[in-house]
Amino acid sequence: MSFPGAQADPDEAAYVVLGAPLDATTTFEPGARFGPRRVRHYAGAFEDYDRRTDARFTDLAVADHGDVDPGADVAEYLTFLEGAVGDYAADGAVPLVLGGEHTVSLAAIRALAPDVLVTLDAHLDLRSTYAGADLTHATVTHHALEVVDRVVVLGARSGSEREWARARDADVPVRAVPPSAVPDWEPALDGERAYLSVDVDAADPGFAPATGTREPLGLAPAAMDRVVRAVAPAAVGADVVEVTDRDHGETATLAAKLLRGFVYAHAAAGA
């Protein structure tokens, strides 16, 4: 199925949804492969009209590419997904990636080469390797720093001792913002091109229980929505990742709402 309201021709769209159901390096509870399907399904309950921007989603030229199905090799898949994202960006569309595990964000970051990565995430993801692998959901921020000038992790509350030390290092351009400070955070992007990555585990598990690695004491949906809409005008792309099938749709519903909020805010800003 297509993302509800995404009825534009992909060759002429302003926004293109790409499903990326990778679920290869999950280390606790699997199920991220079902994320794109569930987000599309639960987005079907929403009204077309957004009061805050006075716009209809069906008027915003959104298309759905469908899923980019993974194979057995993670690096090869990321290269293939990077090509698909890059093709749409070259045509002037804003790519919207539906994960899948957080690793898929690297494909979009590499394709779009933003100046700054803004990510809502419970975890720092600053490891260079995890569980013996280089490309995993736990090394996303580390690899993103090979592309971007700086990273802001909003809702960060979990990481190894070494990761926290790295985040405090003045020579490493990573800012970790705890959940308590997120409601007052402002982008201050100063003309930088941003990429927005929403790992749903940034939310408190009470709001988003269906994710691979839950962390209590997280964000409320309203705070996440505020961040998404604040960053959107400066963003060249976005994703929502780490949604699994282990609830009654609460997590996928939140993910779909945040993705739609990004589109509304981005379009309203004329970005």
Asked whether 237 and 147 are in contact (CB, 8 A), the reply is: no
- CATH top class, domain 15-268: alpha beta
- How many helices (H) and strands (E) would you count in the chain? 7, 10
pTM for this predicted structure: 0.97
- If one counts every other C-beta atom within 10 angstroms of the C-beta of residue 92, the result is 9
Dist CA 77 CA 250 (whole Å): 29
* 33-61 average pLDDT score: 98
Residues forming beta bridges with residue 116, ordered by sequence position: 150, 194
Listed in order, strand segments (DSSP E) in the chain are 15-20, 49-50, 55-56, 62-67, 94-99, 116-120, 150-154, 174-177, 194-199, 235-241
Q: Whats the size of the chain, residue-wise?
A: 271
The C-alpha atoms of residue 203 and residue 266 are separated, in whole angstroms, by: 22
* pLDDT tens-digit readout, 75-122: 999 999 999 999 999 999 999 999 999 999 999 999 999 999 999 999
Domain boundaries, the chain: 15-268
Tell me what the pLDDT averaged over the chain comes to.
Answer: 97
What's the mean pLDDT in 37-58?
Answer: 98
> Cis before residue 100, ω within 30 degrees of 0?
yes
Tens of pLDDT, residue by residue over 153-212, are 999 999 999 999 999 999 999 999 999 999 999 999 999 999 999 999 999 999 999 999
Question: Residue 133 is which amino acid?
Answer: A
Q: How far lies 101's CA from each of 20, 54, 63, 242, 252, in Å? A: 8, 33, 22, 5, 14
State the Cα–Cα distance between residues 135 and 106, nearest whole angstrom: 9
Residue 146 has pLDDT above 90, yes or no: yes
| Tokens standing for residue 161 | 């001792």
